[in-house]
Amino acid sequence: MENNKTPLLDKINFPKDLRKLSKDKLEDVAKELRNETVEAVSETGGHLGASLGVIELTVAIHYVFNTPNDRLIWDVGHQAYPHKILTGRRDKIKTLRQKNGLYGFTKRTESEYDPFGAAHASTAMSSGLGMAIGRDLLKKKNNVVCVVGDGAMSGGMAYEAMNNAGSEKSKLVVILNDNDMSIAPPVGALSNYLSRIISSGTYQSFKNLGGKIVSKTFPERIGKAAKKAEEFARGIVTGGTLFEELGFFYVGPIDGHNLKSLVPVLENAKKYKNGPILIHCVTKKGKGYEPAEKSDDKYHGVNKFNVATGVQQKSESKAPSYTKVYANSLINEAKKDKKVVAITAAMPSGTGLDIFGKEFPSRCFDVGIAEQHAVTFAAGLATEGFKPFATIYSTFLQRAYDQVVHDVAIQKLPVRFAMDRAGQVGADGATHAGSFDIAYLGCLPGFVLMAPSDEAELVHMVATACQINDRPSAFRYPRGDGIGVQIPNEGTPLEIGKGRIVNEGNKIAILSYGARLYECIKAADILNAKGLSTTVADARFCKPLDTKLIKQLALEHETLITVEEGSIGGFASHVTKFLSGESLLDSGLKFRSLFFPDVFLPHGKPEDQYEEANLLAKDIVYCALQTLGNNYSKEEIDLA
């Protein structure tokens, strides 16, 4: 790739090429890499701020360590764009997050330089320790390096891994990327602790001494007096670090943007053989790109943008997002009921709770990247008579499944789960898709499960959840904008377990659960135009089922088709169980169900994902015609 703006980067196809350069060239490599990253993300969108914050760190790691033989694990992986550029993927970097392009996180099948796939937080040290122990058992000598953001340190799994690593004494290099920000400003005691270390007068006074000590940190033999002096100095600097109590040798804080400091420290860490070591790097999210540095979220996730101005492209929308509708609905309910409280796990803006928090700061709780804690915390609030709304992406709620079962469902506590990002999510791909919540919640006794077909229904379901005080409940809603229907000023609680008929026919019945309803209506219009009278019904509830409605549809139609945005084992399985139990499948009813295929769908545009999942109007029509014995191909179906 010829580009006179990047003369050094043009010579680097893989890290082995980077390692051929002299150290005095690394700062220039970092500048070129930063510009390349900004340029690429301006065309694709993605996680820019986190990647800009680790430019120097990425260069230093690949320069010092012998990747891919030395394993490099990025926690979450959304900061790995510069890593991808340096590891043989520069020519594809502008396909980032596009269909058939590079994944937005690390992915094992994409490159040998991605030894562990990621996208959810706090997993790096656990997987890294597993690799380190595996190395030891195989009597190999390679290094294992984990880069962990400070936001991920709010997740309990990180401490479980550190506790294990400290006791195992296996060699493991952990780099704490402390940028004082994950997606939103980090919360909790650890964040405050790290901030105190960095801002303390003792650190400022001793940082020069600390720098001298770091350069002599790891001699194999060290005099007792020198060792005591070192420990004394590091004790003053860090205040007796938590990490050392967990069994890690702690070094830092050091400037994560200063390659002259980073490279020697990493070289010394590479030589260290006495167990796990943690290097505390202070970085700045969005570093080196002014619009990102000035942004409140440091350009965490961006659309395509103008490099010169930083102005992001905004798609025109005729409807508010489901997330915003949910937030406003919850605010309305909270105004009427002082017992309504809201919980998020480090995603206030992603879930809309930043809006709720501004209105009710004392009733909104961001617990950090700690979904397990969030769920049990909500359960505790419920025992005291509050109405907690645990507002967590569908894919992230998976991380707290035992808490949902043990701490909520068994005790029949009225925690309300608001699950954003239900269904396919587009460029973030399989790791973020809300594919499984219908199945994993539907099997739990006592739950009320709802799914709105549009933003107006979401308003009503928030109101409904507020009134459910004797058992847990959950409702799921998709990413992105609503349909454009009129939104009611106030939600009206729905009758529990009661669906509705939208259009009436007498030959084919389509029963939708969730946001595919409007595709079902389009399909019905096509079928009606072909002389096949079609009913469309909105189930609203998966649990309890509207058995009266389902029985009516089964008895009054030749064909019944269910449609949902979820995996096998979801809504259709509940309907099938009911039809079978009532012997309705023995009466000649032709029953079919449409749901996600039994694969992890790749990233791309949502419309492409739903086409691949066979959940568009044409797919519903095709299913109906095939069921009735009409052998049309999908290409022959007239969708005009």
Q: Which residues contact 157 (CB under 8 A, 6 or more apart)?
A: 122, 123, 126
Between the alpha carbon of residue 633 and those of residues 260, 328, 527, 562, 630, the distances in Å are: 64, 44, 15, 21, 9
Check pLDDT > 90 for residue 5.
no
Q: What is the CATH T-level fold of the domain 9-294, as seen in this structure?
A: Rossmann fold (3.40.50)
Q: What is the pLDDT of residue 180?
A: 64
State the DSSP code for 481. B
Q: Which residues contact 159 (CB under 8 A, 6 or more apart)?
A: 246
- Contact (CB, 8 A) for 375 and 415: yes
Of 184 and 609, more confident: 609
Mean pLDDT within 290-316: 78
d(CA 116, CA 103): 13
pLDDT, tens digit (0-9, with 9 covering 90-100), for 435-475: 999 999 999 999 999 999 999 999 999 999 999 999 999 99
d(CA 262, CA 633): 61
Check pLDDT > 70 for residue 219.
no
Residue type, position 351, single letter: T
Check pLDDT > 70 for residue 358.
yes
Q: Which residues pair with 538 in a beta bridge?
A: 500, 512
Residue type, position 554, single letter: A
Between the alpha carbon of residue 263 and those of residues 37, 73, 629, the distances in Å are: 22, 18, 69
Mean pLDDT within 375-397: 97
Check pLDDT > 60 for residue 206.
no
Check pLDDT > 50 for residue 239.
no
Q: Which residue from 315, 317, 344, 341 is spatially nearest to 330, judged by alpha carbons?
A: 341
Percentage with pLDDT > 90 across the chain: 72
d(CA 238, CA 379): 36
Q: What is the pLDDT of residue 298?
A: 63
Residue 313 binned pLDDT confidence (cut-offs 50, 70, 90): confident
pLDDT, tens digit (0-9, with 9 covering 90-100), for 74-110: 998 889 999 999 999 999 999 999 999 998 889 999 9
- Which range is least confidently modeled, 7-16, 179-188, 382-391, 581-590? 179-188
Of 567 and 314, more confident: 567
Q: What is the pLDDT of residue 182?
A: 46
Token duo for residue 120: 């959810």
Q: Is 537 exposed, middle or buried (0-12, 13-18, 19+ CB in 10 A)?
A: buried
Check pLDDT > 50 for residue 217.
no
Q: What is the pLDDT of residue 2?
A: 46
Angle at CA of residue 256, ends 250 and 260, nearest 5°: 100
Residue 66 binned pLDDT confidence (cut-offs 50, 70, 90): very high
- CB-CB neighbours of 135 under 10 Å: 18
Residue 230 binned pLDDT confidence (cut-offs 50, 70, 90): very low
> Residues with catalytic annotation?
285, 371, 399
Residue type, position 70, single letter: D
pLDDT, tens digit (0-9, with 9 covering 90-100), for 315-343: 777 789 999 999 999 999 999 999 999 99
Q: Which residue from 446, 459, 386 is spatially nearest to 418, judged by alpha carbons?
A: 459
Q: What is the pLDDT of residue 316?
A: 74
Residue 506 binned pLDDT confidence (cut-offs 50, 70, 90): very high
The percent of the chain in helix, strand and coil, each rounded to the nearest 5, is: 45, 15, 40
Percentage with pLDDT > 70 across the chain: 88
Which CATH code is given to the segment(s) 324-478?
Answer: 3.40.50.970
Mean pLDDT within 49-74: 95
Of 309 and 430, more confident: 430
Residue 362 binned pLDDT confidence (cut-offs 50, 70, 90): very high
Q: What is the pLDDT of residue 181?
A: 53
Locate the domains of the chain by residue range.
9-294, 324-478, 500-636
- Contact (CB, 8 A) for 462 and 490: no
State the DSSP code for 46. B
- The structure tokens 């993300």 sit at 41
- The structure tokens 């009134």 sit at 467
Which CATH code is given to the segment(s) 500-636?
Answer: 3.40.50.920
pLDDT, tens digit (0-9, with 9 covering 90-100), for 240-289: 368 888 889 999 889 999 999 999 999 999 999 999 999 999 999 889 88
Q: Which residue from 113, 115, 140 is spatially nearest to 127, judged by alpha carbons?
A: 115
Check pLDDT > 70 for residue 299.
no
Query: Average pLDDT over the chain, rounded to whole?
Result: 88
User: What sections of 557-616 are H helices per DSSP?
Assistant: 571-581, 606-612
State the DSSP code for 487. P
pLDDT, tens digit (0-9, with 9 covering 90-100), for 549-559: 999 999 999 99
- The structure tokens 């690949």 sit at 62
Q: What is the pLDDT of residue 583?
A: 94
Residue 198 binned pLDDT confidence (cut-offs 50, 70, 90): very low
Check pLDDT > 60 for residue 228.
no
Q: What is the pLDDT of residue 150?
A: 72
- Which range is least confidently modeled, 31-35, 137-141, 172-176, 299-303? 299-303
Check pLDDT > 80 for residue 538.
yes
Residue 218 binned pLDDT confidence (cut-offs 50, 70, 90): very low
Q: What is the pLDDT of residue 234?
A: 45
Q: Which residues contact 166 (CB under 8 A, 6 or more apart)?
A: 246, 247, 248, 275, 276
